[in-house]
Amino acid sequence: MSIQYTRDEVVTRLNKEIENGRPVVIVGAGTGISAKFAEKGGADLIGVYNSGRYRMDGHGSLAGLMPYGDANDIVIELGSRTVLPIVKEAPVIGGICGTDPTRQMPVFLEELKRLGFSGVMNFPTVGLIDWDSRFRQELETTGMGYGKELEALKIAKDLGLFTMGYAFRPEEGAMVGEAGLDVVIAHMGLTRGGSIGSTMSKEEDLANACRLVDEIGDAARAENPDVMVFCHGGAIAYPEDTVYAYEHSQAVGFLGASSAERIPVEEPLQEATAAFKAAPLRK
């Protein structure tokens, strides 16, 4: 059974890792076995949110932004019945749909706290929808925009939960900093690689990704110097990519979802099955 931590306890644990020269690693878990072995591998935080379920069911992570299920119900079920019972010590972070107009957000967040979550982050997030699109602008003007997600995270902060905010542009980074959240996660888009990931080129985009991480981080830290800057997605997909990111940006942590639980199992599972199939029968 997972240990529940206060916000201050989580912040202290993560700062200790950073002070000792070790990056903070958050692994998104869509199954219990993912959570179990991510923790054994040294994950500092385990993330639970609706895309994890879709991803480990063989679908693209962006299914988490579509109306295929109740994101907030999924985090309760996946967390309480699958991940929290299997994790031993790592703080568990819930991904919340903060724009959900059918929820009393303080009541919902209290329920997550009661179940044993130590923190929350804004996923699914409208931030993945292009700012210049008509759909995004209409979400923003009808009360279901990015600011609504931060309102939910501020409620969580007031309840004593550790808080992490995905940001996609410097303007959103500044909003995360102003909200006083503990972490800004600079999101670079759908993770490249594997069977259902982005097909973007690492060589073309890794340097650009690091520049955007810094722009988002600078904007957040201008409002809150204590905010930690993590990176996620896009061209930053494999361990060697994170080495580059730590050397070329201010990121001190990485959130791996597809990178940590989908891509690493695709080829080994296929190869293991093929090896069993190749075993000959006795004639």
3-state secondary structure of 210: helix
Q: What's the average model confidence in pLDDT over 124-131?
A: 96
Among 56-65, 109-118, 131-140, 155-164, which stretch is predicted with the lowest mean pLDDT?
56-65
Q: Is 206 exposed, middle or buried (0-12, 13-18, 19+ CB in 10 A)?
A: buried
Average pLDDT over residues 209-229: 97
- Of 71 and 198, the structure prediction assigns the larger pLDDT to 71
Give the number of other Cβ atoms within 10 Å of residue 274's Cβ.
Answer: 9
Three-state helix/strand/coil letters over 23-72: CEEEEECCCHHHHHHHHHCCCCEEEECHHHHHHHCCCCHHHHHCCCCCHH
Q: Place 1 in a pLDDT band, splitting at 50, 70 and 90.
A: confident
- % of the chain with per-residue pLDDT over 70: 95
Residue 194: pLDDT band with limits 50, 70, 90: low
- DSSP 3-state of 206: helix
